[in-house]
């Protein structure tokens, strides 16, 4: 089987495909990716087959796009995501995805929910296609309370389909053959029946490049350890939140060490007796050494923490993050706090709760067990093999 992954230039959307691809390769199948090479080349394995599509030219690339998006919130962020990012990305990727199909000759396309060109090209070529759902937000009726927003998103998608000459009346975000959901109902909190072709496979973790420079010896062997991370896309907007989190950390210094993943010039001076500041951390290898995680509600970070049975303090910034934060809180596996108006007392109270309340730990371990039972990359590969 030859599988072509169609992905956007976002690490959280690419990483699960790397894990699934490794499993497929181990079973004798062939895999390749198509998407913006300027970003994907740094996210894929060294010898991955990458067929470029959707690279931005003349506008500063995706870094400039991120700079304009960084400080937006709420509906403004959503409108920017669709009008300035996803729809232009879909149009920009169309020729490259067509060329990738011609050059590679795949048996099946696995298209990310936010890489709409993959579904359109697959349908145009009569190829089986699968959805890679790397966030669960769209499975919870996110616009139920905001019907005008939901209709606006549907109109944006319909406009893209019409511009491509594709038939109307279908949603390129959801395959009718197979949807790989990298989560489980235990976190999703779904109370409605889902179609049989929606496969909840849990998170898929692959190998990541190591970081020999991380000071492992500085991890405290006695105190509990807490990771504070806002991910790679949100950290520049997190100055006030980091400051509030560090004030909360001061009050917990006697029994907790904080590993803060952020640029030093954003955070400023820290007390090294209880704060280990690193611009980047090897998150997956670090998680087994932790007791809790403070994060922005990115789906990957949340799932990685819960896969290790770690409770969370979640400060959502934008997009799907408030929905993911609500899922964590509803499941009992963590506490949601404010990002926009961070309060050190609120963060301190939440940290005390997730570190000391056994209910949060039990809930995190319950989700951890559901992830393990779902099968991850192996389960996703099983479903793909059964497709053809």
- What span, in angstroms and rounded, lies between the C-alpha atoms of 144 and 362? 31
User: How many other CB atoms sit within 10 Å of the CB of residue 329?
Assistant: 16
| Residue 144: predicted pLDDT | 60
What average pLDDT does this structure show over 346-354? Answer: 96
User: How many other CB atoms sit within 10 Å of the CB of residue 279?
Assistant: 13
| Residue 181: predicted pLDDT | 95
pLDDT classification of 233: cutoffs 50, 70, 90: low
For 261, phi and psi rounded to 5 degrees? -100, 100
- What span, in angstroms and rounded, lies between the C-alpha atoms of 17 and 22? 8
Per-residue pLDDT reduced to its tens digit, 242-258? 999 999 999 999 999 99
* Residue indicated by tokens 């403004």: 76
Q: Is the pLDDT of residue 15 over 70?
A: yes
- Scanning 177-335, the segments in alpha helix (DSSP H) are 185-188, 231-234, 239-251, 264-267, 283-286, 299-307, 321-331
Candidate from 2-11, 215-224, 234-243, 298-307 with smallest mean pLDDT: 234-243
- Walk me through the domains of the chain, giving residue ranges and CATH numbers: 2-177 (3.40.50.2000), 216-372 (3.40.50.2000)
What average pLDDT does this structure show over 70-84? Answer: 75
Per-residue pLDDT reduced to its tens digit, 117-176? 999 999 999 999 999 999 887 777 666 656 787 888 899 999 999 999 999 999 999 999
**Contact (Cβ atoms closer than 8 angstroms) between residue 343 and residue 349:** no
What's the whole-model pTM score?
0.90
pLDDT classification of 226: cutoffs 50, 70, 90: very high
DSSP for 300-364 reads HHHHHHHHTT--EEE---STTHHHHHHHHHHHTSEEE--SSS--HHHHHHHHHHHHH-HHHHHHH
Per-residue pLDDT reduced to its tens digit, 23-33? 999 999 999 99
Q: Which residue has better confidence, 146 or 92? A: 92
């Amino acid at each position: 089987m030859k599988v072509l992954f169609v992905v956007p230039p976002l690490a959280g959307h690419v990483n699960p495909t790397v894990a699934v691809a490794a499993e497929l390769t181990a079973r004798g199948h062939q895999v390749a990716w198509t998407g913006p090479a300027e970003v994907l080349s740094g996210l894929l394995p060294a010898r991955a087959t990458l067929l470029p599509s959707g690279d931005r030219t003349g506008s500063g690339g995706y870094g400039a796009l991120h700079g304009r998006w960084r400080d937006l919130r709420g509906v403004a962020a959503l409108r920017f995501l669709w009008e300035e990012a996803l729809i232009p990305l879909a149009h920009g990727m169309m020729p490259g995805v067509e060329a990738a199909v011609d050059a590679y000759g795949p048996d099946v396309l696995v298209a990310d929910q936010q890489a709409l060109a993959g579904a359109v090209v697959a349908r145009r070529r009569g190829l089986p296609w699968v959805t890679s759902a790397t966030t669960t937000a769209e499975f919870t009726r996110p616009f139920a309370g905001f019907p005008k927003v939901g209709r606006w998103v549907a109109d944006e998608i319909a406009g893209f389909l019409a511009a491509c000459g594709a038939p109307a009346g279908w949603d390129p975000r959801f395959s009718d053959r197979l949807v790989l959901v990298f989560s489980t109902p235990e976190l999703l909190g779904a109370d409605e029946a889902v179609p049989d072709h929606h496969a909840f496979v849990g998170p898929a973790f692959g190998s990541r490049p190591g970081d020999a420079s991380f000071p492992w010896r500085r991890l405290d062997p006695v105190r509990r350890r807490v990771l504070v991370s806002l991910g790679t896309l949100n950290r520049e907007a997190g100055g006030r939140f980091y400051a509030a989190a560090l004030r909360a950390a001061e009050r917990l210094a006697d029994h907790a060490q904080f590993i803060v993943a952020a640029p030093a010039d954003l955070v400023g001076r820290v007390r090294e007796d209880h704060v280990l500041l690193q611009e980047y951390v090897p998150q997956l290898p670090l998680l087994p050494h932790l007791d809790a995680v403070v994060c922005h509600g990115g789906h990957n970070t949340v799932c990685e923490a819960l896969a290790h049975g770690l409770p969370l303090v979640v400060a959502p910034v934008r997009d799907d993050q408030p929905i993911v934060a609500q899922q964590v809180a509803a499941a009992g596996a963590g506490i949601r706090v404010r990002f926009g108006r961070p309060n050190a007392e609120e963060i301190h109270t939440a940290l005390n709760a997730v570190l000391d309340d056994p209910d949060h730990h039990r809930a995190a371990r319950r989700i951890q067990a559901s992830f393990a039972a779902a099968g991850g990359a192996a389960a996703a590969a099983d479903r793909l093999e059964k497709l053809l």
